[in-house]
């Protein structure tokens, strides 16, 4: 069954100038990711300046733990986006509707589960990570409150994934800008004006995230075309569609969880060097998020572009778009990396002016930033292969190098050379290995044909 309605509010990536289509779709993603990073960085900036280095360490170590908890469900959402894009590219709108409502049902179940599990397990995980004792109380408060709002960021990512899969990257950008401004204002009110402590920063994030999720839901239920409009009464699991979503998303979800677990182990090794190392490295991780913007936006754009075009059997167009996206991402990522390399001391000092914090952050940055082009290449190939329905390839590659090799390297080398630089070198080393494997696969394998199977 096909539903014939106008879909002028979205962008079909199966026709028109390839580079213009990719840029026009990727640019709102870039700006959206920029505000998402500002959103995530506001806590650290405000907390670090008003509450001190202990509070900064408590908030700055959040990235790996949070991604450990939500990465699996985000991976499933990626699989849902591939399924929706495929049917949307093939103009099979009945299947699009089933995929959309099944995705929303999955998001609700995942958000409720994560709220309960994350709230109960926060203290145990932080202790297992070896979080410094003088940081542990504030870290526990921050993370426990953060995970009480799990439903907000799970549903936000689900709604944004649906909109982006059908080519709408403009409205998620608008909603993210609004919620980012709200988050910063609430951070300033709670922390700087009212002095409510580190937990209030998590409250500000949750409230702003709920608001952006509500805006997305309003768009999907009241303003979207019939092809992918969400009807509350139709939100349920369609088992055949759920199997498709999970089969496409499970490799990405498993990959996210395993890699984030590896990074939690890396963080536990950094924790051994004390709270200044945690604060410095954590501050750099916030800056690093800006360096990853061209990487993530092109990888996301390529996943949608590839899946739509392969769904429409536009095989040559998919290949040309893949090459263009990789080239843009690699060049932009390296330019950003060079900029961060030379400006890192000043950037770290914006979070905290303690000399030790600045020193640790600078060491971390100057080891990794010049290798951003390798990370960009790996992520773009992974995005292309997910869009082509071959999510197992990036999963296995990243599991091998970004998890097994990375953890083994740190465990062995740090035992003999207990220097923090050794930990930081784990990243460019494993990015290099994954890039070599991805390059060989991309050049040799036929990742295009057979997508409809």
Task: Please tell me whether the overall predicted TM-score, pTM, comes out greater than 0.75 for this model.
Answer: no
Contact assessment for residue 225 and residue 5, using Cβ atoms and an 8 Å cutoff: yes
Give CB contacts under 8 A, 24+ apart, made by 263-267. 263/64, 263/67, 263/68, 264/64, 264/65, 264/68, 264/125, 264/129, 265/407, 265/410, 266/64, 266/406, 266/407, 266/410, 266/423, 266/426, 267/61, 267/64, 267/65, 267/129
Contact assessment for residue 407 and residue 262, using Cβ atoms and an 8 Å cutoff: yes
Highest mean pLDDT among 28-32, 132-136, 399-403: 399-403
Could you state, in order of their start, the residue ranges of all structural domains in the chain?
18-444
Confidence of residue 344 (pLDDT cuts 50, 70, 90): very high
- Pick the range with the lowest mean pLDDT from 3-12, 114-123, 215-224, 278-287: 3-12
Q: Which ranges in 166-292 belong to alpha helices (H)? A: 170-187, 198-218, 239-271, 275-291
Q: Which of 428, 436, 435 is nearest to 406 (CA)?
A: 428
Mean predicted confidence (pLDDT) in 246-267? 77
State residue 9's pLDDT score: 47
Confidence of residue 346 (pLDDT cuts 50, 70, 90): very high
Whether the predicted pLDDT of 4 surpasses 50: no
State residue 101's pLDDT score: 93
Contact assessment for residue 427 and residue 371, using Cβ atoms and an 8 Å cutoff: yes
Whether the predicted pLDDT of 13 surpasses 60: yes
Show the 3-state SS of 298-324: HHHHHHHHHHHHHHCCCHHHHHHHHHH
Whether the predicted pLDDT of 1 surpasses 70: no
Q: Which of 226, 256, 231 is nearest to 68 (CA)?
A: 256
Whether the predicted pLDDT of 241 surpasses 70: yes
Confidence of residue 12 (pLDDT cuts 50, 70, 90): low
Confidence of residue 368 (pLDDT cuts 50, 70, 90): very high
CA 157 to chain CA centroid, Å, is 9
Contact assessment for residue 125 and residue 65, using Cβ atoms and an 8 Å cutoff: yes
Residues in CB range of 444: below 8 A, 6 or more apart:
none
State residue 192's pLDDT score: 80
State residue 216's pLDDT score: 92
Mean pLDDT of the chain: 83
What string of DSSP letters covers 312-360?
TT-HHHHHHHHHHHHHHHHHHHHHHHHHHHHHHHHHHHTT---HHHHHH
State residue 39's pLDDT score: 66
Instruction: Give the orientation angle of helix 239-271 with respect to helix 406-416, to 10 degrees.
Output: 10
Mean predicted confidence (pLDDT) in 134-149? 84
Query: How would you label 392-423 residue by residue, b for 16+ Cβ within 10 Å and e otherwise?
Result: bbbbebbbebbbebbbebbeeebeeeeebebb
């Amino acid at each position: 069954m096909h539903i014939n309605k106008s879909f002028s509010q979205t962008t079909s990536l199966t026709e028109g100038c390839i580079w213009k289509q990719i840029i026009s779709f990727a640019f709102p993603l870039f700006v959206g990711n920029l505000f998402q990073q500002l959103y995530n960085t506001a806590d650290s900036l405000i907390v670090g300046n008003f509450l001190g280095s202990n509070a900064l360490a408590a908030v700055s170590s959040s990235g790996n733990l949070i991604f450990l908890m939500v990465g699996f469900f985000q991976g499933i959402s990626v699989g849902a986006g591939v399924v929706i894009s495929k049917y949307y590219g093939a103009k099979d709108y009945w299947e699009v509707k089933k995929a959309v409502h099944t995705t929303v049902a999955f998001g609700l179940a995942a958000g409720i589960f994560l709220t309960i599990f994350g709230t109960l397990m926060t203290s145990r995980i932080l202790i297992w990570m070896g979080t410094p004792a003088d940081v542990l109380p504030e870290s526990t408060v921050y993370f426990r409150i953060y995970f009480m709002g799990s439903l907000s960021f799970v549903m936000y990512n689900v709604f944004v994934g649906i909109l982006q899969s059908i080519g709408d990257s403009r409205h998620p950008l608008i909603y993210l800008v609004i919620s980012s401004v709200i988050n910063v204002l609430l951070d300033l009110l709670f922390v700087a004006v009212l002095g409510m402590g580190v937990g209030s920063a998590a409250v500000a994030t949750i409230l702003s995230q709920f608001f952006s999720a509500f805006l997305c839901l309003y768009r999907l239920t009241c303003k979207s075309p019939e092809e992918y409009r969400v009807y509350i009464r139709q939100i349920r699991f369609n088992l055949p569609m759920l199997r498709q979503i999970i089969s496409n998303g499970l490799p990405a979800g498993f990959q996210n969880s395993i890699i984030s677990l590896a990074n939690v182990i890396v963080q536990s090794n950094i924790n051994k060097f004390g709270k200044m190392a945690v604060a410095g490295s954590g501050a750099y991780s916030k800056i690093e998020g800006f360096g990853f913007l061209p990487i993530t936006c092109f990888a996301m754009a390529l996943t949608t572009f590839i899946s739509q075009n392969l769904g429409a059997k536009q095989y040559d167009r998919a290949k040309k778009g893949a090459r263009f996206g990789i080239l843009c991402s690699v060049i932009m990522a390296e330019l950003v990396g060079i900029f961060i390399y030379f400006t890192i001391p000043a950037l770290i000092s914006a979070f905290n002016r303690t000399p030790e914090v600045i020193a640790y952050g600078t060491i971390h940055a100057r080891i990794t930033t010049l290798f951003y082009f390798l990370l960009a290449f790996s992520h773009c190939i992974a995005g292309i292969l997910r869009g082509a329905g071959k999510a197992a390839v990036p999963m296995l590659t990243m599991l091998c190098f970004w998890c097994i090799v990375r953890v083994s390297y740190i465990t062995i080398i740090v035992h003999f050379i207990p220097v923090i630089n050794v930990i930081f070198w784990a990243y460019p080393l494993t990015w290099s290995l994954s890039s070599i494997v991805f390059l060989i696969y991309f050049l040799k394998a036929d990742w295009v044909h057979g997508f409809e199977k």
